[in-house]
A and B are shown apart, each in its own frame.
Chain A
């Protein structure tokens, strides 16, 4: 007897999860558009542009956090280079936005301003077709996907694991950052891409465009969560966690971990790329600093704070940390990194399962089931810390 796919998807999440997801969809697709576009600015419930952009940006970060949780929380692979895939997605879509400026740039040229500045006469070959929206979307997914696949193939085939893998991913994103900083690379050097004017012909700063981008980001998050929930509930997900816990056993029962890791690694990178492509039109800029080592580490912190291996935890973690960041960088900009570091240490030492684990522990404590629940959380945490 085969269970239909839709039923299995429905079964992959408890009812509470579906209700929460439906509420979220309602908020993102009905309430935010109405509150931003329909309600007048002086209305108490009006949502100003600042908040729509900020939350829209955080929605993209949440997608990245879920993608990170798939490989770190479930497969035990800590990537400290996920910012690279995010940035590559952003750059690929940014090329389209740059072409969309047309002759409205400072030099009134068909070429993007930075190329005129470099005295280039025509577009480099890799900019071919970048005026097409569809091609840009394809590139935004395909380029990070191919980079991840090739890198992962070599790394996983050589059985590079644990901290070595993390360090190599960090070096990878750092190298890419240096490459993109060069003007000759053809991606605007350290200024990157900015001053976007329109997307599919619509003005990019118009409230309607902003709301559509926001709604699309929410859609990306919902889609990512559903996909991830299905994956971790499938046999594939059980093999992944088995690889995390005892890779050699997995090999000796006949699975080749290479393809499992490579699949989830490439998928994770492509999800980051989608988030990057949605992020760039909302913040209006992409530059090589997105590939900095710190950005990638921050992604790991979101996941650690929220709770590894829970999917919803990273979403919460990304939200909390980024909200704190927006507040800190305005009020006490010089202390933000200290706060972030402290947060990471506290989360690692006292919240091995993050906010979600804390919540579960509090509930378990109230129900006096303390022994068993705490035992499994610490066991799982010890495992994760070793990975």
Chain B
């Protein structure tokens, strides 16, 4: 999570209007899922990768490593579809093991490939959004889409204080380690418990301080803020529109044929 957060602040596409990126990412995601087509998944995967790596400036190795995480999960979960144990060999492949076969059908193989492709394309859509858009910008878009204010305010505070919490936790951990707080399993478990309790108390105190500080600035129950504006660029908007129309066309064609 922290890696993604750092990367998105470095992305060259960061200053592109967040609404554009949001619409692009969500629409492409929708077409991937609705069409279930290998072609569309391939196009989306390639375009997202191109935008993130070439235009956004995130290193190729980094991007691949990030993609490897969901890919591993996907492979593991599709194994159940590809691999069957059966007494009768199926049409795709069959490996005899004693009286049984480890086997799979062509249909299930095709289904698995389509599933992996769609899922990876969808992941690439979300990666495009999260690697090139900061959390505050995403919240801003959600605000414009009339998400409940309460939810956005909470997300905003959580995003800010998750880092403070982690800093505090690591400081406590270092101080415990420097006093042999984890020399064996028993002390480690104990130290961890103490850290949890300590964090909880500090979080409570901090929330009181924060409330005082906000009250001092005339807080009246609603967090109103302004964000830096990045105007929509016509060229980008038209590009996105054309791309989504292309995907729409392909989706219709795939569904009809």
Q: Bound pair: A and B?
A: no
